[in-house]
Amino acid sequence: MLRIRDYCTKDIVKLRSSHRIADVLNAFLHSRLDIACILDDSDRLMGIISKNALYRALLHGATLDTPIEPYIRQHVVTADADDNLDHVRDIMLQNQVAHGVILDEKGYVLGVMSKSDIIRGFLHEKEVLINWLSDLIEHLQDVVVSINSESQIATFNRAAENIFGLTKQQVTGQSVDNWLPQLSDGLETVLQQHCSMDPRRISIGNHTVIASFIPLSHNKSVNGAMAVLQDITTLEAVAKELESTKNLQHTVQHALALSYDAIIMTDVKGFITNINDAFLELFELKNEALINRHWLEVIPELNMEAVLAGQTIEGGIRTIREKPCFVIQEPINRNGIHLGTITKIIFRQLDEWRDVFRRLEQLESEIHYYREELQRANRQSSAFDQIISQNSNLERLKEQALLAAKSTSTILITGESGTGKELFAEAIHRESKRVGNFIQVNCAAIPGELLESEFFGYAEGAFTGARKGGKLGKFEIADHGTLFLDEIGDMPLSLQAKLLRVLQEQSFERIGDVKTRKVDVRIIAATNKNLRQMVKEGTFREDLYYRIDVVNLSLPPLRERMDDLSLLSEFLVKKLNKKLNKEIIGITTQALMAMQEYLWPGNVRELENVLERTMNMDVKQWIEPQHLPEQIRQRERSDAPPLPVFIHEREDRPKESHSLEEMEKHMIMSVLDQTQNNRTEAARLLGISRSNLYQKIRKYGIKQEVRFHMK
């Protein structure tokens, strides 16, 4: 709504009743106004005096020194500043006056409204409405095309440009027959017959649209026609997808009906969505209105709270309706979104299935061993090659770790968080030729009261809620393999003593069991704490410390191996390109120098986090200083040339300072030359897609400059 305050004349003449005619005329000459507002001592409106009133006074014998008080009009038309134009127009017409005084919210004079001000306001309002309508048409998702009475295109919005592949400048004022033959018949029919047409289906390139044709009229005369097109290509695809979903749902129902095992599915809130006959048989239920009922109403003994929270429940034996059953519960996720749950219950011939599972576990262990052996035989390099480095200290540590992997000694890996302790432990296990699994336990992530059962397992009936059949501990699972104790400095003292006994005797008892079990487990421990200091403070057992600190590998922080920063960054950018579906080429020298000045308290883990966060920003091809987080940019150097840091740098790269585009062009030419114009191989070496490479070749006009090699 347009308000009076936006259009009234605010530069007005304000006088007192004591002023003379000469004062008013002089004010009129300077302001070029026809009226003046007369204020009292409180600055409130007393009345107005017009130029005409002064002329009449002078004609009747008044002099320039005559006071103006007798000529003041006290009955004045006023309006509030927040009233609309229609209101002030109506009251001025009703009182047959040419001016009205506008008052603010406190009753003081704000300005004067004249007929010309009202006309100007209405013209502006019309202009605003026209602009709104134009913007609305321009930004509609539907295509809008209109023609005038001579069949020339008058309106062609942005959606029309997209679907027809034409610009507004190309078609405006042109014949609709020549440029839009798909619409010309409908538009010209409406123009001639002066009536709308029923919607029709039209194909435009790869798009399917529903077209509506309507006449445009002015003063009861048709002077144009408009077509509105709704693109239903996506809707048709959705309809096909819905049909596929129905077919898939029918297939799922059929598969559930044929399943030998009991199956139930729920949505994310626990309401039943699917159930099969085997489930009904097991729980002695009838399939009467079970769908959409909550599991607590139907099968409370199944206990689905954990899986509904998104946890995968490890398969185990439960007794259901006095029958031993093997129950598996898993959440249903899609694209990281929790959609529901599925529960499978094996209850027929369970003993036979149990034997099969045990045999499968043995076979899986053997296959894992032989696969590792085969991979080790085929590899020319070691597992430590996955640890990216050119730092001499870290390379020396990798050599020491490779030697230590061949022995059975306990290894302690120390270093700050994020330095790669887990990578070292895994590589040591892979090079150790141990046939068992690599099992990791984070001593800081498991509550102290649960650590003992995690390490040693428990027997059936050991405590309330104990799983039927008991549970294997990490030592049994890691038998003939490696147990990696991460953050061992956070292990409670009570458990340290029990761990020491296992390390010394390679035997233990499950919680609630009297049977001693022998294991062959190699221990690799890791910590970011000073265990020597903890021994002095009495928070870590001295005998356990010396038992685990046989081979000590102290990993350096990233700030002490900054010669690895470029190499690590290149590796991580390639890794994150695949993860994030990006095509980032690399990092500029300026950005790398800013990163080298940073202390990296989170080490390599923080470096990967920073790069992933940066690559999620608006980065096109190169990571530059402005893309980095604030805490790193604060240390940025201003004297570094903005050249690329990596991605297949060659000795023949330009020595002088070039722009990024020149550098990129030279790099593409060099790689094309290196690969003898093999575009696929060149794209792979550059770390970009083939289509992106072709775009850059066209962009830089490289086609004529590439050198070809004849075989």
* 487-535 pLDDT, tens digit each: 999 988 888 888 888 888 888 888 888 788 898 999 999 999 999 999 9
The arithmetic mean of pLDDT across residues 632-651, rounded, is 45
The arithmetic mean of pLDDT across residues 313-319, rounded, is 76
Nearest to 386 by CA among 422, 433, 432: 422
pLDDT of residue 288: 61
The arithmetic mean of pLDDT across residues 325-349, rounded, is 85
> CA angle, corner 492, sides to 488 and 497, nearest 5?
90
Name the strands in the sheet holding 197-204, side by side, starting at the edge strand that comes first in the sequence. Answer: 153-156, 143-148, 221-231, 207-218, 197-204
Instruction: Calculate what percentage of the chain has a pLDDT beyond 90.
Output: 18
| pLDDT tens figures, 687-706 | 676 667 777 787 777 754 44
pLDDT of residue 613: 92
Torsion of the alpha carbons at 371, 377, 383 and 386, rounded to the nearest 10: -90
The lowest-confidence range among 284-288, 348-352, 658-662 is 658-662
The lowest-confidence range among 222-226, 511-515, 568-572, 654-658 is 654-658
The arithmetic mean of pLDDT across residues 533-560, rounded, is 93
- Predicted TM-score (pTM) of this structure: 0.41
pLDDT of residue 636: 45
Q: Are 312 and 341 in contact (CB under 8 A)?
A: no
| pLDDT tens figures, 601-629 | 999 999 999 999 999 988 888 888 889 99
| pLDDT tens figures, 292-301 | 888 888 888 8
pLDDT of residue 640: 37
pLDDT band of 710, cuts 50, 70, 90: very low
**461 Cβ partners below 8 Å, 6+ apart?**
512
Report in angstroms the alpha-carbon separations of 255 from 246, 264, 267, 277. Answer: 14, 12, 19, 11
pLDDT band of 355, cuts 50, 70, 90: low
| pLDDT tens figures, 105-120 | 888 998 888 888 888 8
More confident residue, 151 or 367: 151
| pLDDT tens figures, 421-448 | 999 999 999 998 888 999 999 988 877 6
pLDDT of residue 239: 73
The arithmetic mean of pLDDT across residues 397-406, rounded, is 91
pLDDT of residue 705: 42
pLDDT of residue 429: 94
- Mean pLDDT score across all residues of the chain: 82
pLDDT of residue 382: 72
Position 123 pLDDT exceeds 50: yes
Token code pair at residue 548? 């685990």
Residue 449 exposed, middle or buried by CB count within 10 Å (0-12, 13-18, 19+): exposed
Q: Are 507 and 516 in contact (CB under 8 A)?
A: yes
Nearest to 452 by CA among 504, 403, 512: 512
Chain centroid offset of residue 229 CA = 32
How far, in Å, CA of 640 to CA of 524, rounded?
44
| pLDDT tens figures, 175-195 | 988 888 888 888 888 888 888
* 201 membership: H or E segment, kind and range: strand 197-204
Q: Are 569 and 522 in contact (CB under 8 A)?
A: no
Report in angstroms the alpha-carbon separations of 225 from 172, 184, 187, 198, 457. Answer: 14, 10, 6, 14, 81
Helices (H), 541-588: 542-548, 565-580
In Å, the largest CA–CA distance within the chain is 131
pLDDT of residue 543: 92
pLDDT band of 484, cuts 50, 70, 90: very high
| pLDDT tens figures, 218-267 | 777 888 899 998 888 777 777 777 777 777 777 777 777 777 788 888 99
Position 637 pLDDT exceeds 50: no
pLDDT of residue 415: 94
Position 651 pLDDT exceeds 80: no
pLDDT band of 338, cuts 50, 70, 90: confident
Position 676 pLDDT exceeds 60: yes
pLDDT of residue 388: 86
pLDDT band of 302, cuts 50, 70, 90: confident
The arithmetic mean of pLDDT across residues 315-343, rounded, is 83
The lowest-confidence range among 91-95, 342-346, 705-709 is 705-709
Position 647 pLDDT exceeds 60: no
Q: Are 84 and 3 in contact (CB under 8 A)?
A: yes
Where is mean pLDDT largest: 132-136, 371-375, 499-503, 695-699? 499-503
* 84 membership: H or E segment, kind and range: none
How far, in Å, CA of 227 to CA of 646, rounded?
54
More confident residue, 477 or 655: 477
pLDDT of residue 652: 39
The arithmetic mean of pLDDT across residues 40-57, rounded, is 88
pLDDT of residue 618: 80
Token code pair at residue 584? 């980032």
